[in-house]
Amino acid sequence: MWTYILRRALYSIPILLGVNLITFLLFFMVNTPDDMARIQLGAKHVTQADIHTWKEEKGYNKPLFVNTDQSGSAVLTDTIFYQKSIPLFQLDFGHSDSGRNINKDIAQRMWPSLALAIPSFIIALITNIVFAMWMVMLLGTKLERMSLIFTVALMSISGLFYIIIGQKIVAGMWHWFPVSGYQAGFESWRFVMLPVLIGVVAGLGAGVRWYRSIFLEEINKPYVNTARAKGLSEQQVLFKHVLKNAMIPILTGVVVVIPSLFMGSLIMESFFSIPGLGSYTIDAINSQDFAIVRAMVFLGSILYIVGLLLTDISYTWVDPRVKFK
Amino acid sequence: MTFIWLWTDFLLWVLFALSMFAVVKIRANELLRQKWQKIFAQPLALSAFIVFAFYILIGLSDSIHFRLDNNTTTYSVLDRMLLPALEAEEKTYSTPLNFEQFSKEYLDNGLRGRVHLNLPPAEITNASDNTKNILAISANALFYAVGIFLVFILFLEKFTPINTKNNRSAFVTIFALMFFCTWVALMMPNYHILGTDKAGIDVFYKAVKSIRTGMIFGLLTTLLALPPAIILGLMAGYFKGKTDDVIQYIYTTINAIPGILLIAALVLILQVYMDEHASDYASSLERSDLKLLLLCVILALTSWTGLCRLIRAETLKLSELEFVQAAKVFGVSNIKILFNHLMPNVMHLVLISIVLDFSGLVLIEAVLSYVGVGVDATTMSWGNMINAARLELSTDPVVWWPLASSFIFMFILVLSANLFADRVRQVFDPKGDDNA
């Protein structure tokens, strides 16, 4: 099993290389370092000398891929690509264009993100599965058909609507929760409750339908008929057999997103002014800080790949039939 | 009068021509025709489709642009239809169907009061007169709508084999749309149907104009994503081996990059690029149009991977089947096998993904605008409307109508698309639940 995991881990290296190459091409080829300097220094009254000093400070004063002035291996290493890529693989994100230490920011902003993302994830998972099971139990009834249409309606409402209306009514008019903001430590639950609630409701339609389709696929399999023929009650069939077997497809969809919870939610965090990684990214996008956006893209990719790896591992854990080939 | 063809106009009409072509093909094919009949046999799906088609019609009418000879502004056909709302210039906010402004200010006679709006008839000066007038116009509209509807029914009975006794919900939907049209047609010269926004622009006009943007997002993106998804998916599944490895590597890598961040990064880069080459565009309309198109390209770049993976898996299964093996033995070329034998058999996946993705893409437009990487600020879109109206909710008294209008217009489009998509998936996906 360990060799299997190791091989999967090795397989992710070329993917990370690819991600790095794509992001590098995006950020450095389309906009040359000169363009970036102009953005950061302000568009007007920038002399060539200013640009030059800025580039030198940030380490952008080298050729992109091949440095013909150097000899030996330095031809490839003394370039922006090499100098900016290697630290990323060591998880050293360096400094943002405005001079902040990105690693320090991430370490600090990770906690509010997690405080929001983990409860949202767990509560949404449970609610979605419970409602989906409930709908499967009602299969074929009028109530089921009504609730199916209801989930379509829920799904058709823009997520922004839930956020804006939730914030306005629950926090603004009823004063159940603070409208926005954050406080570290134990007090954080008061600030996190409303975004969690809204996140769960906003994802309910799509989530319930997804789990429902998984359960329906299971319920048409022969073993369910066998279980029924043995005389098991419908509850026993559903909870003991269908739910257990449905865990495999559920795991594929769920485990892969767990590491990405670190990244936080762009929309939720910025609406509720939670100082997590999501709002960090949005701020970076708005201030066109390419170093931060690049770091976050890379971090997100690593977390996704870790998610894929975890999925593979969890497979072997829930389904002994999976062979390590 | 000179016609002006924007890139998105052109592509939308190409898409329209393609779908007409598909309809002709479907009618010729017995099996497909039966499937589509099964789709429309569900009243809910049929009604949803009618509403959806109505939106498309509006979007298409907004995609023919022209410039009048004595004028420098570019109009679309839709603009001309909504001309009263477009040309009535108010100063600031007014609530839906109101005759005076929302906020009080000092009038010419020195007192504080509400200014009468330009568009509503001047003789209406109090709320009860206003209500009476609105009711009278509505009754008129109902009268016309019933008339048109009866003519329509008689026409169908007389000249087509359609049985008007069945499909009741479809006809209710059609009647509702007819009433909506006549009501708008009669109301618009007299009122701002959904009020006006901060700058005094008619909210109904903005919401209707946004339909085109939403449609372009939903349809064009998928259209652009189809060629790479289909071609690479088929190739990976059919050739297997090295080809498969490379294609799998490409889409896993793209998938690994968080979607919204990749989009944001691409749009940021696009913005910088367009700002620097601002002088290349003939007009701001062309510039914002190009940005819309490029945004669709960006979304397509990030969204083709899902369909590609599905097609690959399906092709892997198909290429083991006898008809493909037989074609190989007979010496049919690889290209012919791919496009004549395999492609028709994965088209149901393509169709399902087009209809399922549509609503998600319309919704994501609003999110992108909020994040600051959406369509151009001059393009009318629900995302821009929501973004602008967000702060108005915290004013007192609350300015709710711009926000509500954009959400409702978006909701109806997405709901009808979702209901229709659901039915399409049920019929075409062999794994789909069959409780219909």
Contacts of B55 in chain A (CB under 8 A): none
pLDDT at res. B411: 94
Which residue of A158, A296, A308 is the best one to mutate when testing the B interface, meaning the one whose CB has the most B CBs within 10 A?
Answer: A158
Least confident of A84-93, A145-154, B53-62: A84-93
Inform me whether the C-beta atom of residue A40 falls under 8 Å from chain B C-beta atoms: no
Name the residue with higher pLDDT: A178 or B416.
Answer: B416
pLDDT at res. A72: 67
Asked whether the beta carbons of residue A161 and residue B253 sit closer than 8 angstroms, the reply is no
pLDDT at res. A292: 86
pLDDT at res. B98: 82
Closest chain B residue by Cα to residue A265: B260
Q: Give the C-alpha separation, A220 to A217, whole Å.
A: 6
| Sequential DSSP letters for A74-100 | HHHHSSHHHHHHHHHHTT---B-TTS-
Nearest Cβ partner for A14 among B249, B257, B431: B249
Residue with tokens 């009122």: B191
Asked whether the beta carbons of residue B431 and residue A217 sit closer than 8 angstroms, the reply is yes
Task: Please check whether residue A306 is in contact with residue A299, taking contact to mean a CB–CB distance below 8 angstroms.
Answer: no
Q: What is the DSSP letter of A21?
A: H
Indicate the pLDDT class of residue B138, thresholds 50, 70 and 90: very high
Residue B398, domain extent: 208-418
Question: Taking residues A131-144, what's their average pLDDT?
Answer: 90
Number of domains in chain B: 1
Residue B342 within any structural domain of the chain: yes
Q: Give the C-alpha separation, B382 to A155, whole Å.
A: 17
Closest-CA distance of chain A to residue B435, Å? 7
Residue B191 within any structural domain of the chain: no
Whether pLDDT at A30 is above 70: no
Nearest to B293 by CA among B63, B54, B33, B17: B63
Whether pLDDT at A255 is above 50: yes
Indicate the pLDDT class of residue A42, thresholds 50, 70 and 90: low
pLDDT at res. A153: 92
Q: What is the mean pLDDT of chain A?
A: 82
pLDDT digit string, tens, across residues A269-318? 888 888 889 888 888 877 777 788 888 888 888 898 888 888 888 877 77
Question: Taking residues B341-355, what's their average pLDDT?
Answer: 88
Indicate the pLDDT class of residue B47, thresholds 50, 70 and 90: very high
Classify A101 as helix, strand or coil.
Answer: strand
Closest-CA distance of chain B to residue A127, Å? 22
Residue B377 within any structural domain of the chain: yes
Q: Which helix (H) or strand (E) holds B75?
A: strand B74-76
Closest-CA distance of chain A to residue B367, Å? 7
Question: Taking residues B157-166, what's their average pLDDT?
Answer: 76
% of chain B exceeding 90 in pLDDT: 32
Per-window interface: A 271-310 vs B, CB < 8 A: 281-282, 285-286, 288, 290, 293-294, 296-297, 300-301, 304-305
Contacts of B373 in chain A (CB under 8 A): 285
Q: Give the C-alpha separation, B320 to B318, whole Å.
A: 5
Inform me whether the C-beta atom of residue B266 falls under 8 Å from chain A C-beta atoms: yes
Among A25-39, B229-243, B363-377, top mean pLDDT goes to: B229-243
Asked whether the beta carbons of residue A296 and residue B261 sit closer than 8 angstroms, the reply is yes
pLDDT digit string, tens, across residues B226-276? 999 999 999 999 998 899 999 999 998 988 888 888 888 788 778 877 777
Indicate the pLDDT class of residue B409, thresholds 50, 70 and 90: very high
Q: Give the C-alpha separation, B408 to B187, whole Å.
A: 19
Classify A321 as helix, strand or coil.
Answer: coil
- What strand order describes the sheet that includes B65-67? B2-4, B65-67, B74-76
Per-window interface: B 227-256 vs A, CB < 8 A: 249-250, 252-256
Q: What is the DSSP letter of B202?
A: B
Residue B328 within any structural domain of the chain: yes
Per-window interface: B 270-299 vs A, CB < 8 A: 272-273, 276
pLDDT at res. B188: 87
Whether pLDDT at A202 is above 70: yes
| B152 contacts: CB under 8 Å, gap ≥ 6 | B174, B178
Residue B429 within any structural domain of the chain: no
pLDDT at res. A134: 92
Radius of gyration of chain A (CA): 25
Q: Give the C-alpha separation, B342 to B355, whole Å.
A: 21
The 10 Å Cβ neighbour count of residue B356 is: 18
Inform me whether the C-beta atom of residue A260 falls under 8 Å from chain B C-beta atoms: yes
Asked whether the beta carbons of residue B256 and residue A304 sit closer than 8 angstroms, the reply is yes
Name the residue with higher pLDDT: B56 or A170.
Answer: B56
Residue B124 within any structural domain of the chain: no
pLDDT at res. B436: 39
Asked whether the beta carbons of residue B255 and residue A155 sit closer than 8 angstroms, the reply is no
Whether pLDDT at B412 is above 90: yes
Sign of the four-CA dihedral B43, B44, B46, B47? positive
Asked whether the beta carbons of residue A153 and residue B435 sit closer than 8 angstroms, the reply is no
Among A170-179, B82-91, B406-415, top mean pLDDT goes to: B406-415
Whether pLDDT at B60 is above 90: yes
Question: Taking residues B203-212, what's their average pLDDT?
Answer: 92
pLDDT at res. B419: 92
Among A120-129, B152-161, B420-429, top mean pLDDT goes to: A120-129
Inform me whether the C-beta atom of residue B158 falls under 8 Å from chain A C-beta atoms: no
Residue B371 within any structural domain of the chain: yes
Whether pLDDT at B146 is above 90: yes
List strand residue ranges (DSSP E) for B28-128, in order: 65-67, 74-76, 105-106, 112-113
Closest-CA distance of chain A to residue B121, Å? 35
pLDDT at res. A54: 73
Whether pLDDT at A31 is above 70: no
Q: What is the mean pLDDT of chain B?
A: 86
Which residue of A146, A160, A208 is the best one to mutate when testing the B interface, meaning the one whose CB has the most B CBs within 10 A?
Answer: A160
Residue B336 within any structural domain of the chain: yes
Indicate the pLDDT class of residue B214, thresholds 50, 70 and 90: very high
Closest-CA distance of chain B to residue A202, Å? 12
Name the residue with higher pLDDT: A290 or A120.
Answer: A120
Question: Taking residues A31-49, what's their average pLDDT?
Answer: 69
pLDDT digit string, tens, across residues A208-240? 999 998 898 888 888 888 988 988 888 888 888
Q: Give the C-alpha separation, A177 to A171, whole Å.
A: 5
Per-window interface: A 161-180 vs B, CB < 8 A: 161, 164, 168, 172
Q: Tell me the count of A-B CB pairs closer than 8 A.
A: 121
Classify B294 as helix, strand or coil.
Answer: helix
Q: What is the CATH number of the domain that holds B237?
A: 1.10.3720.10
